[in-house]
Copies of this chain bind each other. A is one copy, B any other.
Amino acid sequence: MAGFDKVVGSYAEAMAGLEDGMTVIAGGFGLCGIPENLIAEIKRKGTRDLTIVSNNCGVDGFGLGILLEDRQIKKMVSSYVGENALFEQQLLAGELEVELTPQGTLAEKMRAGGAGIPAFYTATGYGTPVGEGKEVREFNGRPYILEESIRGDFAIVKAWKGDRYGNLVYRHTAQNFNPMAATAGKITVVEIEQLVEPGELEPSQIHTPGIYVDRVIVGSFEKRIEQRTVRSAN
């Protein structure tokens, strides 16, 4: 199935076409399930003035945080950016713009973007700064605000297992924003831990059907833990 073989051989190839000023949607929650090597490739490329749509912005020195070091990010669209001293510094210095978006609204904006729904109503954020300037409308006597969907020039995604066709399965809570991000990129690039043969993934257990995916690369991952909490074994 030559036309459906989406595996690329290098990270340079995986991120080919990314240009200054583009919008990149990234999967991951905190440092869990982030496309860490695709992010590193963006740093290596030195692409600038990026708008990054991601629930968080990594930490100092890991994840999206490394794109702050050379000031590659112009704007973040996120629900929470509090884990990152460099972020704070650039924000206060006016070098970085941030559009804070409620977590559920952010997830739904990505899904809607991928699903051809340009806008939807939600009660989330009504009466708060998030609702300012947005249309308010009542349904069944309750006010809702209008939120528009998000699409990206690129989406960067981390999955567990994948096949050449781009069918993907995520592992545990590393799923998070990845499935929605995968649908919302004009070019969707996925890095996976394990390449399997087409047919190995049970069709009805595939989280992301390959139709959403343009490029697949097999990577190895550090998977840094942000809050290491353990209990004693007994």
Contact = CB atoms under 8 A, between A and B. Distances in A.
Contact of A120 (B120, B169, B171, B207): B120
A172 to B, nearest CB: 6
Stoichiometry (number of copies): 2
Interface in A138-153: 139-140, 142, 144, 148
A117 interface: yes
A175 to B, nearest CB: 6
A227 interface: no
Interface in A110-133: 112, 115-123
A117 B119 contact: no
Interface of chain A, main secondary structure: mixed
Given A172-B204, A204-B170, A204-B171, A120 B112 contact: yes
A229 interface: no
6 contacts: A117-B121, A117-B122, A118-B139, A118-B142, A172-B204, A175-B204
